[in-house]
Amino acid sequence: MKKKRGLFVILAGVVLLCVLIVCYFALLKANSSEEETTEEETTQEEVAAIASDDISTLTFEAGDQTVTFQKAEDSWTLESQEDFPVDASKVDSVVSCLASVKADRTLTDVEDPGEYGLDVPTNVIEVVKTDGGSEKITVGDKNSSTGNTYICLNDDASTVYTTSTDFGSTFSGGLYNYAESESYPTITSSTISKIVVKKDNNSYTVTNNGKSSTGWYVQEEDNKKQEADSTQVGTLQSTVAGLSFAGYYNYNCTDWAAYGLEKPKMTLTVDYTEEVEAESTDDAESDSDANTDDTDDSGETTTETVDRELVLYVGNINETDGNYYVRLGDSGELHGISQASLDTLMNGKAFDYWKTSIDSMTISDLDHLDVTYQGTTYTLKRVVTEEKVEKDKSEDTDNDAGNDADDDTDADSEDADDEEETKTVTTYYVNDQEADSDNFTAFYRAAAAMVCQSRLEENTTKDDAELTLSYHGTDGSKITISYTPRDSSFYVMEDQDGNCGLVNKMNVKDLIDTFLTLTEGEK
C-alpha cells in the first residue's frame, strides 16, 4: 500500500509539471501572436501631412468649446464672429504641427478604442481642405511610459497610432489663447516715480521726493504725508513692475458691472517714464555732417525719455481661475491678473510703508538734547570753540637757514600773532558738567541708529515713557522721541507727531546702558 501511494504522488507531480509546461508555451505563443497582429511596424511613418496652404477651415476643441477658424489668403477669421481679433501667428503655430504627423507605432485590429482614451477624446481636430477633401485626427490618452499620444485618423478606431506630436500642449487653452491682445505696459522699478492705490478704505499715495531723507513719502487720504521706508517702497515698486495679464476673457466688453469693474474694488495709478526712439531733429550742421557719410540716411534715431501713466481697474475674482478681473485704462478688453500679484496692493495700508528708522538730528544741527530717564531730565550739549594755541616749532625746518639777510629783515617785521594758530575745540556737557567725548558720541550715535521692527497705527500703551529724547536744533526745530515698555519683547516708540512703532526691547536697554555710562551711573 505504501508503494502504491508513493507511486501515485509521483505520477500526480509529473502530470502537474506537464500542465505547467503546456500553459507556459501557450502563453508565450499567444503573446508572440499578439505582437505580430498589433504591432505591424516599429519604425516611424508619416500618417498625416496637412499643409497650411491646403487648409480652408480648422476645427478643434479650445478649452470647453469647439472653435472653427476659416482661412482666406494669409488671414484667419473665427466662424460666426468675423470681428474676433484672431492672432494669425498663433493659429499658424498650431497648424504647423499638422504638416507632418509621424507614428512611432501602429496598432491594428484594435477592438476597444477606449483602452487608448479614444472613446472620450481629449481633442478632435478636423480640417477641410481647399480642394474639398477633409482630414480628421482624434486625440486620445498619453502613454504613461513613453509620453507619446494615441491617435486615430478619420474615425477609423481599429487602427491606433502612437505619435510624439504633443497635440495636448499645442492645441491648449481656450479661445482667447488665439486672440490678439493689448500688451500690458512694460514698467521697471527704477522708472516709477509715483504710485496711487485708491480703495474704499486704506487708500494711499507713494511719491518720490528728494526732500525726504529716504527719497520717498507716503500719504494716506486726508492725512499728513510721512517719510516712507525705502526698502518697503522698493518692494512695492517691484510688485507693481511685476504685474502682467494672466487671463483674457473678452475683446469687447460692454457689461463692466458683471465683473465688478463699474465700481472697481481698487484703482491703481502709476507714474513712470519710458525710453522711446525718436527721430533726430538735428539742424543744418548735422545735415552737413551727414552729407559726408557714404550712406544715404534720412536721419538718425535717438532715444528720449517720456512720461507715462498707467491706470488699472481691479474688479471681482474669477471663480474659475482665481484671477482678478481687470481693465486697463479705457480699453474695451477684459483681462485677468493673478490674486497673488495683486493681494499686496489690495490689502496694503499707508503705514505699511512708513519708514522704520527713527527721527533724530545731525549733531552739527543740534543746539541741545534733553534726555528724560525715569522722570529725571538731563541736558546734553555740544560746544564748539576756536582757540589760539602756540604754533608747533617742530614744523619749522632748516629751509629757513639758507635765507638771505633780506629774509631776516622780513622776519623782524612779522607780528607776534604769527607764533600762534587757531584750533577748533569741541567740548561735551551733561547738565553743564564736562562729559567724556567718547561716551557722549557713543550715546548720540546709538540713539540715531534706533529702528522700528514694525509700525503701529496707534499707541495703546498707557504707561509713562521710560526714556524720552527731545532734540532742539539751532534753527529752532524740535524732534521728540519717547520709549515706553510694552511687553517682554518690545518698547513702543512714539514721535512728536504721534507716529508709533515697535522697537526691540534689548535695543532700548542697550541705549539706556549707553546713556547711564555717559552720566556716570546716575539714575
Whether the Cβ atoms of residue 127 and residue 94 lie closer than 8 Å to each other? no
DSSP state of 348: -
What pLDDT shows up at residue 498? 86
- Asked if residue 302 has pLDDT above 50, the reply is yes
Query: Closest by alpha carbon to 449, among 422, 426, 481?
Result: 481
Q: Does residue 467 or residue 32 have the better pLDDT?
A: 467
Q: pLDDT digits over 132-143, tens only? A: 999 999 999 999
Pairs from 317-324 (Cβ < 8 Å, separation ≥ 24):
318/247, 318/249, 321/246, 321/247, 323/246, 323/247
Whether the Cβ atoms of residue 116 and residue 141 lie closer than 8 Å to each other? yes
Cell readout for 72 is: 482666406
Q: What is the 3-state secondary structure (H, E, C) of 253-266?
A: CCCHHHHCCCCCCE
Taking CA atoms, 16 is separated from 20, 70, 418, 438, in Å, by 6, 69, 129, 103
What pLDDT shows up at residue 20? 62
DSSP state of 451: B
Share above pLDDT 70 across residues of the chain, in percent, rounded to a whole number: 82
What pLDDT shows up at residue 23? 60
* Cα first-last separation, the chain: 115
Place of cell 520717498: 216
Q: Is 267 exposed, middle or buried (0-12, 13-18, 19+ CB in 10 A)?
A: middle
Distance of CA 485 to the CA centre of its chain: 38
Distance of CA 142 to the CA centre of its chain: 35
What pLDDT shows up at residue 369? 97
Q: How far apart are CA 237 and CA 216, in angstroms?
A: 12
Q: How far apart are CA 436 and CA 429, in angstroms?
A: 8
- Asked if residue 176 has pLDDT above 90, the reply is yes
Cell readout for 285 is: 550742421
- Asked if residue 405 has pLDDT above 50, the reply is no
Kind and range of the H or E run holding 67: strand 65-72
Whether the CA torsion 173, 175, 176, 177 is positive or negative: it is positive
Strands (E), 235-300: 247-250, 266-279
Q: Of the ranges 96-100, 221-225, 252-256, 408-412, which one carries the lowest mean pLDDT score?
A: 408-412
What pLDDT shows up at residue 159? 97
| Total residues found in the chain within this entry | 523
Q: How far apart are CA 358 and CA 507, in angstroms?
A: 13
Mean pLDDT of the chain: 86
Q: pLDDT digits over 440-491, tens only? A: 999 999 999 999 998 887 888 888 999 999 999 999 999 999 999 999 999 9
Task: Kindly list the structural domains of the chain, giving each domain's residue range(s) and its CATH number in brackets, ordered by start.
Answer: 45-178 (no CATH), 189-279+303-353 (2.60.40), 363-390+420-518 (no CATH)
Name the pLDDT band for 367 (thresholds 50, 70, 90). Answer: very high
Helix, strand or coil, per DSSP, at residue 460: coil
Cell readout for 7 is: 507511486
- Asked if residue 36 has pLDDT above 50, the reply is no
Query: Closest by alpha carbon to 152, among 98, 116, 104?
Result: 116
Share above pLDDT 90 across residues of the chain, in percent, rounded to a whole number: 67
Q: Does residue 146 or residue 41 have the better pLDDT?
A: 146
Distance of CA 249 to the CA centre of its chain: 24
Could you tell me which residues come within 8 angstroms of residue 247 by beta carbon, excluding any fewer than 6 positions away? 176, 318, 321, 323, 335, 336, 337
Cell readout for 366 is: 543740534
Q: Does residue 432 or residue 5 have the better pLDDT?
A: 432
Helix, strand or coil, per DSSP, at residue 293: coil
Q: How far apart are CA 340 and CA 322, in angstroms?
A: 10
Helix, strand or coil, per DSSP, at residue 403: coil
Return the number of other C-beta atoms located less than 10 Å from residue 280's C-beta: 12
Q: How far apart are CA 376 and CA 523, in angstroms?
A: 8
Helix, strand or coil, per DSSP, at residue 335: strand
What pLDDT shows up at residue 35? 45
Distance of CA 386 to the CA centre of its chain: 55
Task: Give DSSP secondary structure letters for 367-379.
Answer: EEEEEEETTEEEE
- With b for 16 or more beta-carbon neighbours within 10 A and e for fewer, the 136-175 pattern comes to ebbbbbbeeeeebbbbbbeeebebbbbbebebeebbeebb
Query: Is the backbone of residue 404 left (phi > 0), alpha (psi -120 to 50) or beta?
Result: beta
Maximum C-alpha span of the chain: 156
- Asked if residue 395 has pLDDT above 80, the reply is no
Q: How far apart are CA 291 and CA 275, in angstroms?
A: 28
Query: Closest by alpha carbon to 447, among 475, 477, 470, 478?
Result: 470
